Structure 1
């Protein structure tokens, strides 16, 4: 009896026909981050569980309900639920924080949370994220926010709002926690069980509860901005000034607290109404105490994460442009073993030159081969049979226009690239496909 095994619930397969969409986001995000001086960091998919307990916070939903933890003999590991903790651990362990400041890194990773799957919320999801360590200036906050906005703008996203808030430092948050406890205590019995526990351990987390009943109770809760100390208030005022100077529009939203405990001072989200409840496509802020908490020297830091699946949902909804899928540059249709061997030789040369070239591997007839070439979107085709081999030349056909050009076969095929017409042909191929992997000039 055949076993029908399917992918786990809350995960998705990315098919070749859709991968160009992912390439678009990854390319633009990577290029934008590099233009701001960030370098790519790669770090393990799983970490010691204690890393997330110390950084994300034991009272968060992530730690209490959503982490995937595995025990291997005497060791316990957790699949990363977010990127910042692992990135900071890697920066500490590899001495990056002993080098010139600020340190700037970015990453493209998969993350794992055991949540109820829905549009824009998966159990395995993907993020573009970055971290900047070393600067306490609100100018760094503005820089990171500007970078995030630059990525979203380059992707062509519209109707995206920037929401900002300050959640203060430990000193001013202590007073705010007292005010929150005083507000929620009279209605404690109406709260969900999780929020009853939060009221004791971390009352600010009540503002992030997803329960409609708890959100209704919290709607008139005290606002953190009324409890900021002078330093935090000045930091937030300067951030707003820098954003104004950069002509970056924003909404001050006191309800933003972010979902992880390590945040301090500035927090922000880029939000859209295009994809329903899961409208946050980018979230981040400061975490000035995290590096010290993980064993490093006191070092201010900040960063953000962008959900790639959510970006794709918005881009599809808004019909944004993607890099065009890379097509087959040239397909050789062959008749007979000798022609097949010649096609294999020509394809080898073309691939070494950087082009996508194919030939028949199914033993099809010539008509079926041409039908296949059309199906895969081959830009050019060339038919090779006994006559072409005997004459040492064949005709290159542009599939869209039907235009043909005679090409020599018996010389080394890449020598034909010196032909003025064929150079033009290849330029058109690269231009039409907008390939991020297109080769030009000496790169070939």
Structure 2
């Protein structure tokens, strides 16, 4: 029904620019380690270097701690440091949290990245949950200062990653999403002043919020929150900054994929016992009209952004990214087809076919930067999230992996639960996409008649 499913290889948002992250190069990181440790030896055991970098996090000089954090990040990007994490997990976490509390913006950004890498390395389980519970208060407090864009973006990305990996209950994910939402809509009081956020921070908030939404069951969230978020994201589509528009477009596509706009429309028609209230017909009619109008407005906005001609001084790359994204969103809203994305990881093919998977892939690729390929090849947590099994891993077999000398992290019952939940939610997104083929086009058409 309608268009064929679009297939694009290596979507624009998965381009090589994400690799140019704040993480230093391998050679720079190694030299940082050597300067931190004060040794002239070139061939130094990797674990010894990490130990020296961890020791350097106790130093008073901020620049020394920054070099140590950069070296730790590079080590975690280059190899999955399971043995080091097993021995020094708690020490590394708490030293990074100390850096968040007292460090410069640069040190905070590096510490946030290191904590996120620690969580991704640990994977599902009790240690990941501990990272979340130990980090959330420090991150929340640090976000309240709103002093620096680099700092805020790093804190948001860290909160998103540690929650995605470590949350074992829906309430824990909602807590982090609420922290993010309060940045956009602070509860104003006598000692709270509304502060206009830079576009880069708004983009980071929306992207992090949507990333966590991919790990949520839409039925768990109430209709008031949905209506507020959809209305707000619609206003962002009219902003001048293209990165803001793109992040809002992705979030809206995900919400429609989950089917939540239909969900809260139905909820507003019913009482808690499931019946339609006799004395509330006018409110019901108003709510229904508002929702239909909002859907129609979003469709028109998406259609316009998918064909924007651009303006004087517009960055062509950003314009093309916007057009490509909103063409995909438009096709999804009209025909129910999410973009099929394929990308090579080494010699293996990673594919996504839902907005949920695409948002997860975009976010984690951006966060991991130069370490993305290594983690996708060797990180079992990411294999579970994307249902991705490299041929090399499959051929080696479990027995060979265990005999290679690399210890496996202990997996608690929570790890089994979280893995199953992630796989279930991604499957539900797929089923929802199949059910919605043509659904939005019919609904939109009816309301415009």
Query: Normalised by the shorter chain, which TM-score bucket?
Result: under 0.3
What TM-score, normalized by structure 1, do the two folds share? 0.23
What TM-score, normalized by structure 2, do the two folds share? 0.23
Greater relative contact order, per chain length (Cα 8 Å cut-off, separation 6+):
2
Greater helix content:
2
Greater strand content:
1
Structure ID, larger Rg: 1
